Structure 1
Amino acid sequence: MRAICFNFQVHQPFRFRRYRFFDIGNDHYYYDDFSNETTLRKVADHCYLPANNLLLELIKKHKGKFKVSFSITGTALDQFELYAPEVLDSFQDLAETGQVEFLSETYSHSLVSLKCKELFAAQVKKHDDLIERYFGQRPKVFRNTEMVYSDEIGSMVAEMGFKAMLTEGPKHILGWKSPNYLYCNAINPRLKVLMRNFRLSDDLSFRFSNQAWNEYPLTPTKFINWMNANPKDETINLFMDYETLGERQRESTGIFKFLEEFPAAVFKQSDLKFATPSEIAEQFQPISMVSVPYPISWADEERDLTAWLGNEMQQEAFNKLYDLHSRMNRVTDEELNKDWNYLQVSDHFYYMSTKFFSDGAIHNHVNPYESPYEAFINYMNVLSDFELRLNNFVPESKADKDIAALTKLLEEKEEKLRKYQLEIKNLQTKKTTSTKRTKTATKPARKD
C-alpha cells in the first residue's frame, strides 16, 4: 500500500489594535475587532466555505476513498464562533462524514513547547477539549505550531499519549533519506513521525500559479507522475496552509479545478490511496528513527525558528511574556486568562521579524504593521498593561506583596482619616452653631 496524506493548517490570530503608551493602565481592551472580522470574512468567502464545500462533494463522490485532515487552532475556532458560525457548521459537516481527521494543536498557536512542559500540556488539553466539543473527536495525532519539532518536543508529545506527530522533512535533517516514509522519535520510539514532502507541498502552496515556473501549468497528471517516480515510496505527505485554496492561490488560478480532478486521477493513474495521519501511523511501520536535536519548523529556507525568535526584539518579548507564566497559574479571572492565551499567539513575534523587512518584506500581506519595530512597541505596550492587571491579582514578589499590603493599609487609613476629618468638621460646625444660639438666647434685653 502507498498513501497520500493531506493535512491543512487553519489558523487566524486575534490582531491587536494600535495600543499607545498612554493607553497603558487606562484601557484594557487590546483587539482590532474590525480587522479581525474583516480578515476572517474575506478568507471565509475565498477559502473556508468554497473549499469545505468542494471537499464535502469529493468525499461523497468517492464514497470513503478520499480523506483529509485538519489542524485548526483554538483562536480560529473562537473567531468562527464570533464572526462566521457558518464556517464552523461547514467543518462539522465534514466531521460527520467520518473521512476527516482533526489533529491536536496548541490552543493559541503558540511556541510554548519551547518554554514550559506543563503550560504546553495545558494548552494542548484546552485545544483538544474544543475539538472534541465541536467535532466529536479526541485527537490522536499532534501537529505543533508551525510544525516546530525536536527530539525533546516529540518525547513530550509522546508522554501526553499521542501516537504520531507531523513535522517538516528538511534536507539537513534527512540527508539522503526520503520524507516519503514513516519515522519514529529518537528519544521515545513509540511516537511515529510523519515528515512533510516540502517540494510537492510547496508546488501547490507557492508555485502553482507562477507562470515563470518551468513546470507551469501544473496538472493532476503531471503531479501524479512526480509521485509515481519512486514506486517504493510509502507515504506522500502534503501538508499546507488551508488558505492555499482560494486565498493564496485564487480561484482564477485553477486551484479548485485541480483539487476537484485530483482524486479521480490518482485512482486512475496510480496505486496510491488517501489516508489520514492516524491511518498512516496504524498501517505503516517506521523505517528508522529521525534525529532532530535542535528545533526545526516549516518556515523559510532555514527551516528553523528565526522567523519568530531571530532578533533581540523577538527574544525580549518572548522571554518577558513567559516570565509571567508561574503567576498566571494562580489566576482564575476569565478575562485575564483569555488575554494571556491571545498574547501567546506566535504571529505577534512573526510580525517583529527583520528577516523579510530589509528585502522588500516578503509575507508582508499578513503583517498589519508598517515595520517590525512598530510591531514590537505595540506588543510591549499591550504586555505592560497586561502585567499591571496581573499585579493586581498576583503581586510579582514578596516586596511587591508588602508594598501592595502597605498601599492598601494606607488607603484604608486615608479613608478613615477623611471620615474623621469630615466628622470633626461636622462637629465643629454644630458646635459653632450651638454657641451662636446660646449667645443669642442669653444676650440681655436693650433698655430704651
Structure 2
Amino acid sequence: MASVCFYFQVHQPYRLRRYSVFDTDRHYFDEFKNAELCRKVAHKCYLPANRMLLEAIRQHEGKFRVAFSLSGVVLEQFRQYAPEVLDLFRELSDTGCVEFLSETYYHSLAFLYSREEFRDQVEKHRLLIKELFGQDPRVFRNTELIYNNDLAHFVSHMGYDGILSEGADSVLGYRSPNYVYRPPHAPRTKLLLKNYRLSDDIAFRFSNRTWEQWPLTADKFALWVNQINGNGHVCNLFMDYETFGEHQWAETGIFDFMRHLPEAILKSSSENSFITPSQQVDQFEAVGEIDVPHMISWADTERDLSAWLGNAMQSNALHELYKLEGALKEKGDEQLLTDWRRLTTSDHFYYMCTKFWADGDVHKYFSPYESPYDSYINFMNVLDNVQTRLREE
C-alpha cells in the first residue's frame, strides 16, 4: 500500500517598508507592496491551483485528498487583498476532502524563545481555522517544519494527535520516511515524516532541464510512488503551495503534471490511495520511535536552524525582539502587540541569512532587500521605534 499525503504550506509575510533610523511613523509595513505581491501570487498560484484541486477532487469523487497549513498572516491578507482566494479555500473545505493543520499564527520561531507566546499564537491560529473553515485541527505543523523531541512533547500536551517533521537522513539513519513513527515520551502522538526526495522532485527539480529525470511526467512519478508498496505505508509529499505557478511557472507544465497525477497514482495500483494527515494518524500504527534531540527543519541543505540563526545579526535581532515580550504584554496596547507579533514572522530573519552558493541563491530569490545587512538594519530601525512606543505612557 502507498497512501499518498499531499500537504501544502501557504504563507506570505507582512513585508516591512524602508524604515530609516530617523523615521517615527508607526506604519511599519508596506501595504502597497504586500497587496501587490498577494494579488500577484494569487493570480499565478492560489487561484489556478485551488481550481485545479477542486476539479481533481470532484473528478475522483472524493478519492483525492490534500491538506493545507495556512498561516494567520496570509489569511489576513486574503481577507484584505484577495477575498476570492479565501472563497476557494472555503469551497475546498466544503468538499470534505481537505484538511487544515495547526501552526503558529504569525509563522514565527516562538517555540525557540517563548513557550507562552508559542501557545498563544497556536491557539489564535486554531480559532481562526475554526472560524473560517469549521475545522478543529488535530495535526500540528511548526514553522518551516522546525522540530525536535521537546516540541513534540509540548504539542502532545496541547492535545494534538499528530505532528509533521522533515524526514532528515541525520535522524532516520537506515529507516524510511514512508512509515508512521512516534516521538519519545509522547506515546499518543504520531510523527509524520516528509519524503524529501520525492517532494523535492516536484518542488525544486521539476523544471531543471539538467536533471537526469527531466521531464518529469505523472506516470513516471506514479511509478516511483508505487515502489513504496511493500517498503512502506505512506508517501508524505510536503511542499510550499507556491510551487505551483510561482516557484515553478505554469509554462513548465507543473499544473498539467499535477492535474494528471491523481489518476496516474490511483491507476498504477489498486492499493494506492490519497489520505490526509489525520487519516494517517487514525489508520496506521507507529512502527517505532524517532529520537530528535536537536532542532531540524526543512530549509536548505543542512536542514537545521541556520537559515534563521546562522549569524550574529539574526541572533541579535531575535534576542532583542523577544526581550520586549513581557513589558509589551503588560502594557496592554493591542495594536503595538500586533505590530510586534508581525515582526516575529520568520521571514524577517531569513532575509538576514548570509549563506553562499545554492542556498544563498534561494535566500536572495525571496528577499526584498539588496543584502542581508540592509534587512538587519531596516528591521532594527523598526524595532527601535517599537521600543520607543513601549516606553511611552
Residue in 1 aligned with 2:101? 103
**1:399-444 Cα deviation digits (max 9, x unpaired):** xxxxxxxxxxxxxxxxxxxxxxxxxxxxxxxxxxxxxxxxxxxxxx
The yes-or-no answer on 1:335 pairing with 2:335 is yes
The amino acid across from 2:76 in the alignment is D
Corresponding residue SS for 1:240: strand
The amino acid across from 2:96 in the alignment is G
Residue in 2 aligned with 1:440? none
Residue in 1 aligned with 2:28? 30
- Give the C-alpha shift of residue 228 in structure 1: 1.9
The amino acid across from 2:241 in the alignment is Y
Equivalent residues in 2 for 1:29-428, closer than 5 Å:
29-232=27-230, 233-270=232-269, 271-356=271-356, 361-392=361-392
The amino acid across from 2:32 in the alignment is F
8 Å CA contact 2:351–2:363 kept in 1: the answer is no
The amino acid across from 2:222 in the alignment is I
User: d(CA) in 1 for partners of 2:303 and 2:338?
Assistant: 31
User: d(CA) in 2 for partners of 1:295 and 1:390?
Assistant: 32
Between the aligned residues of both structures, percent identity stands at 52
Distance verdict in 2 for CA 1:363–1:316, change over 3 Å:
closer
Structure 2: gaps (5+ residues) = none
Corresponding residue SS for 1:289: coil
8 Å CA contact 1:317–1:380 kept in 2: the answer is yes
Superposition TM-score, scaled by structure 2 size: 0.97
Residue in 2 aligned with 1:442? none
8 Å CA contact 1:189–1:289 kept in 2: the answer is no
The structure, 1 or 2, with the larger RCO (C-alpha pairs under 8 Å, 6+ apart) is 2
Corresponding residue SS for 1:268: helix
Residue in 2 aligned with 1:4? 4
8 Å CA contact 1:356–1:362 kept in 2: the answer is no
Corresponding residue SS for 2:289: strand
- Give the C-alpha shift of residue 274 in structure 1: 0.3
Corresponding residue SS for 2:47: helix
Corresponding residue SS for 1:330: helix
User: d(CA) in 2 for partners of 1:63 and 1:352?
Assistant: 46
Superposition TM-score, scaled by structure 1 size: 0.86
Corresponding residue SS for 1:209: coil
Corresponding residue SS for 1:70: strand
**1:262-320 Cα deviation digits (max 9, x unpaired):** 11111111221000000000000000111000110001111000000000000000011
The amino acid across from 2:118 in the alignment is F
User: d(CA) in 2 for partners of 1:210 and 1:361?
Assistant: 15
User: d(CA) in 1 for partners of 2:322 and 2:358?
Assistant: 29
Corresponding residue SS for 1:363: helix
- Give the C-alpha shift of residue 360 in structure 1: 6.1
- Give the C-alpha shift of residue 250 in structure 1: 0.9
Corresponding residue SS for 2:362: coil
**1:29-73 Cα deviation digits (max 9, x unpaired):** 101112111111110000000000010011111111000000000
Distance verdict in 2 for CA 1:357–1:15, change over 3 Å:
farther
Task: Indicate the RMSD between aligned Cα atoms, in angstroms.
Answer: 1.3
Distance verdict in 2 for CA 1:36–1:380, change over 3 Å:
same
8 Å CA contact 2:353–2:363 kept in 1: the answer is no
User: d(CA) in 2 for partners of 1:14 and 1:355?
Assistant: 23
User: d(CA) in 2 for partners of 1:73 and 1:189?
Assistant: 28
**1:143-181 Cα deviation digits (max 9, x unpaired):** 000000000011111011000001100101101000000
Which deviates more, 141-150 or 218-227?
218-227
User: d(CA) in 2 for partners of 1:359 and 1:119?
Assistant: 30
User: d(CA) in 1 for partners of 2:111 and 2:94?
Assistant: 31
8 Å CA contact 2:178–2:228 kept in 1: the answer is no
User: d(CA) in 2 for partners of 1:355 and 1:315?
Assistant: 15
- Give the C-alpha shift of residue 357 in structure 1: 7.9
User: d(CA) in 2 for partners of 1:188 and 1:86?
Assistant: 40
- Give the C-alpha shift of residue 89 in structure 1: 0.6
- Give the C-alpha shift of residue 382 in structure 1: 0.3
User: d(CA) in 2 for partners of 1:295 and 1:21?
Assistant: 35
User: d(CA) in 2 for partners of 1:87 and 1:234?
Assistant: 33
Report the number of matched residues. Answer: 391
User: d(CA) in 2 for partners of 1:17 and 1:170?
Assistant: 36
Corresponding residue SS for 2:3: strand
- Give the C-alpha shift of residue 328 in structure 1: 2.5
Which deviates more, 150-159 or 330-339?
330-339
